[in-house]
Amino acid sequence: MIVVLEGQDEFRISERISEFKLTVTPPEMREINTAVIDGNLLTIGELFAAVSTVPFMADKRLVIVEGLLNKLGSPGKKGSSENSSTEWTDFPQLFAGMPETATLLFVEKTTLPTRKVVSEILKQSKVEKFPSLRYRELISWIEARCSLLGVEIESQAIALLADSVGNELRLIDSELNKMKTYSSGNLITTSDVRLMVPYVRQQNVFRVVDAVIEGRTRDALSASASLISLGESPSAILRMVERQIRFLFSTKYLISQKVSASDIGRQINLSGYPLRKTLEMEKKISQTRILNMHNKLLESNIRVRDGRLTEQESFDLLIAELR
């Protein structure tokens, strides 16, 4: 059996791979009968040898190849003559009689190329696609994950988690497991999510930065007080604000270079709610204002470092200075 796992959703692909690994039994023989191969370094002869190897004291053998199809579909990235796309045209004939004991998984994290050599391989394969989830799909996935984990959670809490974390499924899974332990079987509420999930706390950082940018001193102090009540210190809030200022500076530059929103997210390592809010903020603030805020933040740090003011005093003064 030949299966292609295609898509950018690394977490769902990794779980699908885990399901295939479970087909290799007995469990104690699973590791020795599973091969993971870098497709960029693979020859067709080596792949044929890998899938033709008789399972060792097991009923199945699993061969996982990463990135081969995109390599074959990329002109100018050929390796040796044996590893060229021309050599791989023999794939359909060579692998037509692949042993039933072998499962071959091609893992491709980007869209499959359309070159003929790849199309011929796909004709013998089952293709499973794992694109990034849309918002409603993400909500459904979180609901299903909660059911799988035995977690009871409010629908509003699910929406807050989706808005805050976005398509980072591995992070969502980690946070759900953490909240499951924290809740001890009780219903997880929006308050629990706000308390436990760092990305949700970041929403209050956006409230602080939004208020500062718009000159709403009272709202900025109120939003920062909410963070402090959750256990954050003034210096920690300042570090988060500094981080957001850096994101805004980078975003403004990338937009001036006509970079798309999705590419901006990849370059500054943001997604979901944090990325959306950063893109919204960028429209509200000039580059001059960003630099001025950065300088004021630096002055605030120096005041505390020199002992002229306490963290709280310097923080309150900074908020007033940034009107």
Residue range 152-181: average pLDDT? 89
What is the spatial distance between Cα 175 and Cα 119, in angstroms, rounded to a whole number?
40
What is the spatial distance between Cα 71 and Cα 121, in angstroms, rounded to a whole number?
13
Give the residue among 196, 160, 203 at the shortest CA–CA distance from 178.
196
pLDDT tens for each residue of 263-278:
898 899 887 767 888 8
CATH topology for 135-196 is Helicase, Ruva Protein; domain 3 (1.10.8)
Among 8-22, 238-252, 269-283, 307-321, the least confident range: 269-283
CB 186 within 8 A of CB 152: yes
Task: Give 97's contacts (C-beta < 8 A, 6+ positions apart).
Answer: none
First and final C-alpha spacing in the chain: 65
Tell me what percent of the residues of the chain surpass a pLDDT of 90.
39
pLDDT confidence of residue 235: 82
Residue 271 backbone class (left: φ over 0; alpha: ψ -120 to 50; beta: rest): beta
Three-state DSSP string of 273-307: HHHHHHHHHHCCCCHHHHHHHHHHHHHHHHHHHCC
Among 10-14, 77-81, 86-90, 120-124, the least confident range: 77-81
pLDDT confidence of residue 49: 92
**Which CATH code, of 3.30.70.3450, 1.20.120.10, 3.60.90.10, 1.20.272.10, is assigned to 199-321?**
1.20.272.10
Can you read off the two tokens belonging to residue 26?
Answer: 């007995």
What is the spatial distance between Cα 47 and Cα 103, in angstroms, rounded to a whole number?
12
CATH fold match for the domains 2-129 and 135-196: no
Give the residue extent of every domain in the chain: 2-129, 135-196, 199-321
Q: Output 90 or 231, whichever has higher pLDDT.
A: 90
For residue 127, pLDDT beyond 90: yes
pLDDT confidence of residue 84: 56
pLDDT tens for each residue of 69-97:
988 887 654 444 344 567 788 888 888 87
**Which CATH code, of 3.30.300.340, 3.40.50.300, 3.40.50.920, 3.20.20.80, is assigned to 2-129?**
3.40.50.300
